[in-house]
Amino acid sequence: MVDTMAKVALMLGLPKSTGQIYGLLYLSPEALSLEVIAERLSISKASVSTGVRELVSWHVVQQVFVAGDRRDYYAAEPDLREALRAIYMDACKPKLGKVERRLDSLLAALEADRKAGALNREEFQFCRERLESVGRMRDRLVKWLPLAEKLL
């Protein structure tokens, strides 16, 4: 599970350690401290701290109070469907709006480069077609998002 979640994290453009942390916490019957997570995964406590903060911000890991211990403990959201929904809503969906703005910016810069003579006609056409292709893919994703949200 730890290795699988690490691969999923990498596919989503996240650090491998973030996936490893979630995988470990998901399979742990009790909440774990940062120190224990770092030891079991053989990664730095700083990486664990960063990964846990990210997972907490997505609501897929919760901080847990352990009586008599001052350390912070963490447990994974046990419902994978809820975890996927949270990651989608908090990490993936907001990025689609940024993609549109970034594509608009790139197209404007491309046009400025063409006008300045930095690109010949063929280079400009090639780059514009590629950027428009990315835009069409983004538009398709946005079109299907309501269905994906209902499934989650």
Instruction: Count CA atoms closer than 13 A to 105's CA, side-chain side.
Output: 6
pLDDT at 101: 87
User: Average model confidence (pLDDT) for the chain?
Assistant: 88
What average pLDDT does this structure show over 107-113?
Answer: 93
The CATH class of the 2-76 domain is mainly alpha
pLDDT at 21: 96
- 98 — pLDDT class (breaks 50, 70, 90): confident
Asked whether residue 51 carries a pLDDT value surpassing 90, the answer given is yes
Instruction: Count CB-CB contacts under 10 A for residue 130.
Output: 12
Select the more confidently predicted residue: 149 or 70: 70
Tell me how far apart the alpha carbons of residues 139 and 45 are, in angstroms, rounded to a whole number.
40
Q: From the centroid of its chain, how far is CA 8?
A: 10
How much is the CA Rg of the chain, to the nearest whole Å? 21
Tell me how far apart the alpha carbons of residues 78 and 134 are, in angstroms, rounded to a whole number.
35
Tell me how far apart the alpha carbons of residues 100 and 93 are, in angstroms, rounded to a whole number.
12
Domain map of the chain by residue range?
2-76, 80-151
pLDDT at 11: 81
Select the more confidently predicted residue: 60 or 145: 60
pLDDT at 55: 92
Closest CA to 71 of 31, 12, 26: 31
* Low-confidence winner among 72-76, 129-133, 135-139 (lowest mean pLDDT): 135-139
3-state secondary structure of 12: coil
